[in-house]
Structure 1
Amino acid sequence: MGKRKVFTKTDLCVPQVEHSRDTSGNVVILPEVIPPTNTTIKFGRNASSSRSFDFARWYSAGIDPITYACQRQIERFLAGQEGAVAVSTVAAYCVNGMRNFLDCCMLRATAFGRDLALADVNRDLIDGYLGHLTWLGVSTISQSSHYAHTKSVLVALGRRGLIPLVDSGDAATFPRNPFPNINRKAKGETALSKRERQAFTVALREAIKPIWTDDEPVTGELLALSLLVIALHTGRNTTPLLEMGVDCLRPHPKDNTVFLVLWKRRGYNTSKVALRTESDAERLLESTPSVRTNVERLIRRVMALTEHLNAEAPDDLKGRVWLYRSRSNKGGGFGKVTALNVETLRCATNRLVIEHDLTGSDGEPLRINVSRLRKTFANRIFELTNGDLATTAVALGNTLRVADQNYLAPDEDACRNWQFMGEVMVQELLTSTIGATYKDTPMGRCADPVNGQYAPKREGATCMNFMNCLRCKHYAVTTEDLYKLFSFYFRVLAERSRMDKRRWAREYAHIPRLIDHYIVAEGLRRGTFKAGVVEAAREHARSLPHPFWSVDLINSLEVFA
Structure 2
Amino acid sequence: MGKRKVYVRTDLSVPQVDHRFDQQGRVIVPPEAIPPATTLVTFGRNATSYRGFDFSRWYGTGIDLITYACQRQIERFLTVQDTAVEVSTVASYCLNGLRNFLDYLVLRATALGHELTLADIDRELIDGYLGHLAGQGGATTTQKNLYSGTKAVLQALGQRGLIVLVAAGDEATFPRNPFPNSNRKAKGETPLPKTQRQAFAAAVKQAVMTIWRDDESLTGELLTYALLIVALHTGRNTTPLLEMGRDCLRAHPKDNSTFLILWKRRGHNTSKVVLRGESTNERLLESTPTIKINVERLIRHVIARSEPLRAEAPDDLQERVWLYRSRGNEGTGQVTALSDNTLQYGIQKLVTNYGLTDSDGQPLRINISRLRKTFANRIFEILDGDLATTAIALGNTPQVAGRNYLLPHEDAKRNWRFMGDVMVEELLTYTIGTTYKTPMGHCSDPVNGQYAPKREGATCINFLNCLRCRHYAVTGNDLHKLFSFYFRVFAERMHMDKRRWTREYAHIPRLIDDYIVAEGLRRGVFKLAAVETARERARFEPHPFWSYDVVSHLEVFA
Amino acid at match of 2:54: D
Aligned to 1:433: none
Q: Secondary structure at the match of 1:208?
A: helix
d(CA) in 2 for partners of 1:217, 1:81: 43
Asked if 1:498 is matched to 2:496, the reply is no
Aligned-pair CA distance for 1:113? 0.4
Q: Deviations over 1:76-96 (max 9, x none)?
A: 000111222110000000000
- When residues 280 and 118 of structure 1 are mapped into structure 2, their CA distance, relative to the original with a 3 A threshold, is same
- When residues 478 and 33 of structure 1 are mapped into structure 2, their CA distance, relative to the original with a 3 A threshold, is same
d(CA) in 2 for partners of 1:202, 1:138: 38
Contact 2:451/2:462 (<8 A) preserved: no
Aligned to 2:153: 153
Aligned to 1:527: none
Asked if 1:346 is matched to 2:344, the reply is yes
Q: Deviations over 1:1-22 (max 9, x none)?
A: 4333221111111111011222
- When residues 257 and 67 of structure 1 are mapped into structure 2, their CA distance, relative to the original with a 3 A threshold, is same
Q: Secondary structure at the match of 1:479?
A: coil
d(CA) in 1 for partners of 2:552, 2:184: 37
Aligned-pair CA distance for 1:259? 0.8
Contact 1:193/1:411 (<8 A) preserved: no
Contact 1:279/1:293 (<8 A) preserved: no
How many correspondences in the alignment?
468
Asked if 1:119 is matched to 2:113, the reply is no
- Larger mean CA deviation between 302-311 and 54-63 belongs to 302-311
Asked if 1:356 is matched to 2:354, the reply is yes
Q: Deviations over 1:445-499 (max 9, x none)?
A: xxxxxxxxxxxxxxxxxxxxxxxxxxxxx99953269679639769x98653222
Aligned to 1:310: 310
Contact 1:191/1:379 (<8 A) preserved: yes
Asked if 1:43 is matched to 2:43, the reply is yes
Contact 2:240/2:263 (<8 A) preserved: yes
- When residues 249 and 67 of structure 1 are mapped into structure 2, their CA distance, relative to the original with a 3 A threshold, is same
- When residues 74 and 227 of structure 1 are mapped into structure 2, their CA distance, relative to the original with a 3 A threshold, is same
Amino acid at match of 1:162: L
Amino acid at match of 2:19: H
Aligned to 1:394: 392
Aligned to 2:335: 337
Aligned-pair CA distance for 1:417? 3.5
Aligned to 1:135: 135
d(CA) in 1 for partners of 2:281, 2:461: 45
- When residues 283 and 329 of structure 1 are mapped into structure 2, their CA distance, relative to the original with a 3 A threshold, is closer
Q: CA RMSD in A?
A: 3.2
d(CA) in 2 for partners of 1:544, 1:12: 68
Aligned-pair CA distance for 1:545? 10
- Larger mean CA deviation between 245-254 and 54-63 belongs to 245-254
Contact 1:228/1:370 (<8 A) preserved: yes
The aligned runs of 1:269-288 (5 Å cut-off) are 269-282=269-282
Aligned-pair CA distance for 1:413? 6.0
The aligned runs of 1:123-522 (5 Å cut-off) are 123-282=123-282, 294-330=294-330, 333-410=331-408, 414-420=412-418, 477-479=453-455, 486=462, 495-499=489-493, 506-508=506-508
- When residues 509 and 399 of structure 1 are mapped into structure 2, their CA distance, relative to the original with a 3 A threshold, is closer
Amino acid at match of 1:138: G
Aligned to 2:64: 64
Aligned-pair CA distance for 1:337? 1.3
Aligned-pair CA distance for 1:279? 2.4
Aligned to 1:82: 82
d(CA) in 1 for partners of 2:365, 2:463: 45
Aligned to 2:473: none
Amino acid at match of 2:492: R
Aligned-pair CA distance for 1:297? 1.1
Q: Secondary structure at the match of 2:103?
A: helix
Q: Deviations over 1:256-281 (max 9, x none)?
A: 00111111111111111111112225
Aligned-pair CA distance for 1:198? 1.1
- When residues 157 and 108 of structure 1 are mapped into structure 2, their CA distance, relative to the original with a 3 A threshold, is same
- When residues 345 and 284 of structure 1 are mapped into structure 2, their CA distance, relative to the original with a 3 A threshold, is closer
Aligned-pair CA distance for 1:43? 0.6
d(CA) in 2 for partners of 1:96, 1:161: 24
Aligned-pair CA distance for 1:325? 1.1
Aligned to 1:533: none
- When residues 511 and 152 of structure 1 are mapped into structure 2, their CA distance, relative to the original with a 3 A threshold, is closer
Aligned-pair CA distance for 1:403? 0.4
Contact 2:451/2:460 (<8 A) preserved: no
Aligned-pair CA distance for 1:420? 4.0
Q: Secondary structure at the match of 2:5?
A: coil
Aligned-pair CA distance for 1:311? 2.0
d(CA) in 1 for partners of 2:510, 2:109: 56
- When residues 255 and 281 of structure 1 are mapped into structure 2, their CA distance, relative to the original with a 3 A threshold, is farther
Q: Deviations over 1:237-274 (max 9, x none)?
A: 00000110111111111110011111111111111111
Q: Deviations over 1:204-237 (max 9, x none)?
A: 1111011011100000111011101110110000
Contact 1:67/1:102 (<8 A) preserved: yes
d(CA) in 1 for partners of 2:128, 2:11: 38
Amino acid at match of 2:389: T
- When residues 212 and 477 of structure 1 are mapped into structure 2, their CA distance, relative to the original with a 3 A threshold, is farther
d(CA) in 2 for partners of 1:413, 1:362: 22
d(CA) in 2 for partners of 1:423, 1:142: 33
d(CA) in 1 for partners of 2:74, 2:343: 28
Contact 1:237/1:370 (<8 A) preserved: yes
Amino acid at match of 2:344: R
Contact 1:193/1:412 (<8 A) preserved: no
Q: Secondary structure at the match of 1:245?
A: coil
d(CA) in 1 for partners of 2:181, 2:555: 38
Contact 1:41/1:53 (<8 A) preserved: yes
Aligned-pair CA distance for 1:416? 4.1
Aligned to 1:441: none
Amino acid at match of 1:486: N
d(CA) in 2 for partners of 1:398, 1:56: 42
Contact 1:141/1:185 (<8 A) preserved: yes
Contact 2:412/2:507 (<8 A) preserved: no
Aligned to 2:529: none
Unmatched 5+ residue regions in structure 1? 286-290, 425-473, 514-537, 552-556
d(CA) in 2 for partners of 1:506, 1:368: 28
Contact 1:27/1:118 (<8 A) preserved: yes
- Larger mean CA deviation between 313-322 and 66-75 belongs to 313-322
Report % sequence identity. 61
Contact 1:409/1:506 (<8 A) preserved: no
Contact 2:453/2:459 (<8 A) preserved: no
